[in-house]
Chains A and B, each alone.
Chain A
Amino acid sequence: MKETDVENLTIGEISPRIRSGDISPVELTNLFLDRIARLNPVINAFTTVLADSARAEAKSAETEIQSGHYRSPLHGIPISIKDNLATSGVCTTGGSKILANWKPDFDATVVTKLKAAGAINLGKTNMHEWALGGTTINPFFGTTRNPWDINRIPGGSSGGSAAAVAASMCLASIGTDSAGSVRNPAAMCGIVGLKPTYGRVSCFGGVAGTGAYSTNHFGVLSKTVKDCALVLQEIAGHDAKDPLSAESPIDTYSKNLGRKVDGLKVGLIGDYYEKLMAGNVRRNFAAAMELLQSLAMTTEKVSIPHMDVIPAVHTVVSRAELVSDHDHYLRTRARDYSPELLYRHIHALMFRAGSYVTAQRVRRVIAEEFDEAFKRVDVIVTPVSIPAPTIEECSGGTTEIDGETIALRDARGSFWGLGTVPFNVTGHPAISVCCGFSNSGQPIGLQIVGRPFEESTVLQVADAYETAAQWHKRKPQLDDIGRNEKIAG
């Protein structure tokens, strides 16, 4: 196998071959490390590459498998971890200057579980500063570039994770999502991104201040829905170390993959998402709905009367919770934040306590409206966001999408966060799968949302769509990248 051959590998396809001894975890890990060595100087997806420990882990995995101790479908599989999950003895920066040299002496629970499953950690991935933004233009660790067009952002805040998976620098990655930070970069990089139900995956070991307490989730970025299910299986479950983790039993997440979706009902939210669909997003979303209907799924419009209030609720709740985490550093190292983030925190210091509680009460109103909707439908399907803007457009504040000019940011936050924040506010499981490409060749995402703890249904519908549409077969052209040029972050 050559380094370029890894582009077409998926966990689902190769884990049986690793188990049978047909593929060597050591050889596989070396191929991915070669690919990282070639591509990362340009893409800048990794902040830390763990070549030596990855090779040691791969050797150990190989020995174990050869001796008949096969741990899980992730045994010997090269993955990566976003740089706001604690990794013992390894820099965990949270994308911040303040924690640039922090090496925790413990692992996040998800990291512990992945180690127990036998996964090989290739390194830590770049992210937006403190995970509080969606571009992964990081003033301290450089800009991560979108593998589909290196002049564009990969989305964020888990932009490094998404770019690493899309560029086949690993087979899956763990990200965090408090406003869409798994789903948006997944959509912009043309891969799969799952935000599970709130509490489904332990958040113990997440860097404090990189996700608000009541809106943050750890999630999976992968090449296919099946791979996503395989990773979720290994990281889901209650964790006594995380008081916010859910006690409900985990499911068998791949049990519904390949099953027919006929008769399942899709809910469609009207006005709110209509306003978010620019250019080809509308065309691709309509085509995706037609495809789901061709699979004998039925559709029904659902009403969420307070949908438009969600961005305000999210802003008040998340910023108030976050500024509590940042209080110490705001008092001691305020100028080690980017100015934009510092100003945002100062604004949050001025929120009234009553506003926070009122926002949480409005949140219940919204959650009850979704409860009503989910009595009638099995999933809700929406677009995720606009295709990736260019890095230059992010500086200018607007983007052109198929002839339409879109403001990238307003008081509600980033434009592309508006499609994803509703399910950080409600906690429902939500996945992004690729539903085609813009005229300029940028991936576009489709969001599938399920009832609480019904990830299996979300994955079932996503898998049915992916299998029928086949967009996941299309890969960014990276053969010439990194052979001669090097782009400074």
Chain B
Amino acid sequence: MRELLRKLDAEYGFRLSEAEMDKIEKEIKESERLFQQINDVDVSGKTPFMRLDVKGVKS
């Protein structure tokens, strides 16, 4: 994860300090369990839901 952060830092020119990278990594780790909930849902046969259709019925 730190390697990816360093790549982004170089690409975008953020000039992140090590302490800042620590903070971002901490946030990412805290989110991992939350995001895992998405992968646990059976979505077979389901297409992405982007918005309500412009005609007024669900897409």
Q: Chain A: residues with CB nearer than 8 A to chain B?
A: 197-199, 214, 238, 244-248, 306, 308-309, 311-313, 315-316, 330-331, 334-335, 339, 342-344, 346-347, 349-350, 355, 357-367, 371, 410-412, 427, 452-453
Total residue contacts A-B, CB cutoff 8 A: 117
Check A312 against B55 for contact (C-beta < 8 Å). Answer: no
Other A-B pairs, 14, CB within 8 Å; known A343-B27, A452-B56: A198-B52, A238-B54, A244-B51, A246-B55, A312-B35, A335-B15, A343-B24, A346-B24, A350-B5, A350-B8, A360-B49, A362-B38, A364-B49, A452-B58
Q: Contacts A309-B38, A347-B24, A350-B28: A247 and B54 contacting too (C-beta < 8 A)?
A: yes
Q: Contacts A346-B5, A359-B38: A453 and B23 contacting too (C-beta < 8 A)?
A: no
Task: Return 6 A-B CB contacts under 8 Å, by A number.
Answer: A245-B54, A343-B20, A360-B48, A362-B41, A362-B43, A410-B30
Complex interface: chain B residues within 8 A of A367 (CB): 49, 58
Nearest-neighbour CB distance to chain A for B27, whole angstroms, equals 6
Check B46 against A315 for contact (C-beta < 8 Å). Answer: no
Complex interface: chain A residues within 8 A of B31 (CB): 315, 347, 411
Alpha-carbon distance between A238 and B52 when the two chains are bound, in angstroms: 13
Check B12 against A331 for contact (C-beta < 8 Å). Answer: yes
Which one of B38, B54, B56 has the greatest number of beta carbons of chain A within 10 Å?
A: B38
* A305 and chain B: residue at smallest CB distance: B41
Q: Contacts A247-B54, A316-B38, A343-B23: A330 and B47 contacting too (C-beta < 8 A)?
A: no
Nearest-neighbour CB distance to chain B for A298, whole angstroms, equals 26
Check A364 against B46 for contact (C-beta < 8 Å). Answer: yes
Complex interface: chain B residues within 8 A of A315 (CB): 31, 34-35
Check A199 against B38 for contact (C-beta < 8 Å). Answer: no
Complex interface: chain B residues within 8 A of A246 (CB): 52-56
Nearest-neighbour CB distance to chain B for A135, whole angstroms, equals 18
* B24 and chain A: residue at smallest CB distance: A343
Check A357 against B56 for contact (C-beta < 8 Å). Answer: no
Check A312 against B37 for contact (C-beta < 8 Å). Answer: yes
Check A309 against B58 for contact (C-beta < 8 Å). Answer: no
Check B49 against A371 for contact (C-beta < 8 Å). Answer: no
Closest A-B pairs by Cβ, 6 of them: A248-B56, A360-B48, A364-B49, A361-B43, A363-B49, A361-B46
**Which residue from A244, A312, A342, A364 sits with its C-beta under 8 Å from B38?**
A312
Nearest-neighbour CB distance to chain B for A303, whole angstroms, equals 16
Check A247 against B43 for contact (C-beta < 8 Å). Answer: no
Alpha-carbon distance between A449 and B20 when the two chains are bound, in angstroms: 40
Q: B1-50: which residues lie under 8 A (CB-CB) from chain A? A: 1, 4-5, 8, 12-16, 20, 23-24, 27-28, 30-31, 33-35, 37-39, 41-43, 46-50
Nearest-neighbour CB distance to chain B for A165, whole angstroms, equals 28
Check A363 against B52 for contact (C-beta < 8 Å). Answer: no
Complex interface: chain A residues within 8 A of B15 (CB): 335
Complex interface: chain A residues within 8 A of B4 (CB): 350
Nearest-neighbour CB distance to chain A for B15, whole angstroms, equals 8
**Which residue from B38, B50, B55, B57 sits with its C-beta under 8 Å from A313?**
B38
Check A361 against B48 for contact (C-beta < 8 Å). Answer: yes
**Which residue from B20, B34, B41, B57 sits with its C-beta under 8 Å from A365?**
B41
Nearest-neighbour CB distance to chain B for A118, whole angstroms, equals 29
Complex interface: chain A residues within 8 A of B54 (CB): 199, 238, 244-247
Alpha-carbon distance between A247 and B59 when the two chains are bound, in angstroms: 13
Check B33 against A411 for contact (C-beta < 8 Å). Answer: yes
Alpha-carbon distance between A312 and B41 when the two chains are bound, in angstroms: 12
Alpha-carbon distance between A454 and B24 when the two chains are bound, in angstroms: 42
Nearest-neighbour CB distance to chain B for A43, whole angstroms, equals 32
Check B49 against A358 for contact (C-beta < 8 Å). Answer: no
**Which residue from B14, B27, B34, B56 sits with its C-beta under 8 Å from A344?**
B27
Q: Contacts A199-B54, A427-B51, A427-B52: A365 and B35 contacting too (C-beta < 8 A)?
A: no
Nearest-neighbour CB distance to chain B for A127, whole angstroms, equals 23
Nearest-neighbour CB distance to chain B for A473, whole angstroms, equals 36
* B48 and chain A: residue at smallest CB distance: A360
Complex interface: chain B residues within 8 A of A411 (CB): 27, 30-31, 33-34
Complex interface: chain A residues within 8 A of B55 (CB): 246-248
Check A361 against B47 for contact (C-beta < 8 Å). Answer: yes
Nearest-neighbour CB distance to chain B for A42, whole angstroms, equals 34
Alpha-carbon distance between A357 and B41 when the two chains are bound, in angstroms: 13
Nearest-neighbour CB distance to chain B for A44, whole angstroms, equals 29
Alpha-carbon distance between A48 and B50 when the two chains are bound, in angstroms: 35
Nearest-neighbour CB distance to chain A for B6, whole angstroms, equals 12
**Which residue from B14, B33, B41 sits with its C-beta under 8 Å from A342?**
B14
Nearest-neighbour CB distance to chain B for A409, whole angstroms, equals 11
Nearest-neighbour CB distance to chain A for B34, whole angstroms, equals 5
